[in-house]
A and B are shown apart, each in its own frame.
Chain A
Amino acid sequence: MAIDASSIELVDAGGPTDPSAFLIEPPRTRTKRTGRKSRTNFEMLAWLFMRLSGVVLVFLVLGHLIIQLLLDGGVSKISFAFVAGRWASPFWQFWDLLMLWLAMLHGANGMRTVINDYAERETTRFWLKVLLVTATVFTVLLGTLVIFTFDPTIS
């Protein structure tokens, strides 16, 4: 669609006329409160971890879903005996252990990003992260313990 330039009327919409009002400070600008130097590159390592663990999890989780939900009658075949049969093999124990650790850490780091994005007050962010770390450590340790101490003869 062609626009006839003469038909456009310029109106002062009352916006700021001071050009500095449009200045957006670059993100992560060092301020007085920023430490002189950070010892580690934690955020970069976390970013890299999300990509590396993500690729591995695609295989681990999709394999898990195919076995548990699709093959041999789907969810209807799952029982204590089915779990006992799979965890009799160190291969599947290791599969589940790796999946547990990677998924929990990947998920916890994702939740950390979400908390940082939406919780605006510093104390809210702090306590949400305390809750997140507590729940994550508890779940990872519980799951690890269950895989390593599984007893097929329990009754």
Chain B
Amino acid sequence: MPAGTLYRGREGMWSWVAHRVTGVLIFFFLFAHVLDTALVRVSPNAYNSVIATYKTWPVNLMEYGLTAAILFHALNGLRVIAVDFWAKGPKYQRQMLWTVVTLWVLLMAGAFYPILRVTLRTWFG
């Protein structure tokens, strides 16, 4: 009886999973984003009314989530490049992942107020 088929690849595997999930999410957002921006060719009103939904708190929370996905994908992508092109990359891939996670947490903390202004103002006045 095999002990299950889940590959326990630790940091290497989970960063690969997260890279894939964030990549797919960003790609689907990109479709929506090109379409909403295309409304500038329809009329200023059409564009402004769709952009108004971006300024509501539920979508504002999603903007913070999108930033989180993009930031992880960007930082981990640079790590992947380092693993591929830097001779010592594979040796330090684990340390580089924890550097990515630390940077990600710090930058997300820094972006908390500027991005979530709309939500914070709606909830707390």
Interface residues of A (CB under 8 A from B): 51, 54-55, 57-58, 61-62, 65, 69-71, 73-76, 78-81, 83-84, 100, 103-104, 107-108, 110-111, 114, 135, 139, 142-143, 145-146, 149-151, 154-155
Which residue of chain A has the shortest Cβ distance to B20 in the bound complex?
A114
B97 within 8 A of A: no
Q: How far is the CA of A135 from the CA of B77 in the complex (A)?
A: 24
B101 within 8 A of A: no
Question: Taking A142-B38, A143-B34, A143-B37 as contacts, is the C-beta distance between A107 and B67 under 8 angstroms?
Answer: no
Give the interface size bracket for B toward A: 35 or more
Would you give the 0/1 interface string for B88-103, flagging 1 where the beta carbon is closer than 8 Å to chain A?
0000000000000000
Interface residues of B (CB under 8 A from A): 20, 23-24, 26-27, 30-31, 34-35, 37-38, 40-41, 43-44, 47-48, 51, 54-55, 60, 63, 67, 70-71, 74, 77-78, 80-81, 84-85, 111, 114-115, 117-118
Question: Taking A73-B117, A74-B114, A80-B48 as contacts, is the C-beta distance between A100 and B34 under 8 angstroms?
Answer: yes
Q: How far is the CA of A54 from the CA of B20 in the complex (A)?
A: 14
CB distance from A77 to the nearest CB of B (A): 10
Q: How far is the CA of A57 from the CA of B30 in the complex (A)?
A: 13
The secondary-structure label for the interface of chain B is helix
Which residue of chain B has the shortest Cβ distance to A62 in the bound complex?
B74
CB distance from A124 to the nearest CB of B (A): 17
Question: Taking A51-B84, A61-B70 as contacts, is the C-beta distance between A154 and B37 under 8 angstroms?
Answer: no
B30 touches A114 (CB 8 A): no
29 A-B residue pairs with Cβ-Cβ distance under 8 Å, sorted by A, are A51-B85, A54-B77, A55-B78, A55-B81, A58-B74, A58-B78, A61-B70, A69-B67, A70-B115, A74-B114, A74-B115, A74-B118, A75-B63, A78-B54, A79-B48, A80-B47, A83-B37, A84-B40, A108-B27, A110-B27, A111-B27, A142-B38, A143-B34, A146-B37, A146-B38, A150-B41, A154-B40, A154-B41, A155-B43
Which residue of chain A has the shortest Cβ distance to B1 in the bound complex?
A13
Cβ contacts under 8 Å, B27 to chain A: 107-108, 110-111
